[in-house]
Amino acid sequence: MARAATTTDAFNAIAEPRRRLILDLLAAGERPVGELVVQLGLAQPVVSKHLRVLREVGLVQVRDVGRQRMYRIDGRPLRAVHDWLASYERLWEERFEQLDAVLEELSREEVNNKDLSSKDLNSAEARPGESGDDRP
């Protein structure tokens, strides 16, 4: 089966970790490519290649300001990713609720066990001479 081109949709574009980092940086605001290069610690051609892919799927928009190209995020293509992940979010919420219930039950059992242990200790202290030491 042939691999899908990274420029076909947002899913493929964000599969690459460096592109996700670029989106994270652009989420804070518009930036020139030179600033992205510095912040990412990557060569300019590498950053430009990733920006091109992001631009082709519509995740990034570019505008010229004098001699600089300013990049900004456009989150609309991420809607499909968000919608797809929503079903998994519900699944994880249900599992976390189940885990919370188990942890709450374990916590109650632990408190009950501590109460029983302290009652046993108190009753043993209240009965002198059972320890094998009958000295006054």
Which pLDDT band holds residue 87 (cuts at 50, 70, 90)?
confident
Please give the residue that has the higher pLDDT: either 49 or 113.
49
Q: Please tell me the CATH code under which domain 10-73 is placed.
A: 1.10.10.10
For the segment 4-26, the average pLDDT, to the nearest whole number, is 88
Q: Is the pLDDT of residue 99 over 60?
A: yes
For a pLDDT cut of 90, what percent of the chain falls above it? 62
CB burial class (10 A; 0-12, 13-18, 19+) of residue 90?
A: exposed
**51: which residues sit within 8 A by CB, 6+ positions away?**
22, 33, 36, 60, 62, 71
Q: Is the pLDDT of residue 126 over 80?
A: no
Please report, for the chain, the start and end positions of each structural domain, with discontinuous segments joined by +: 10-73, 77-125
For the segment 64-87, the average pLDDT, to the nearest whole number, is 92
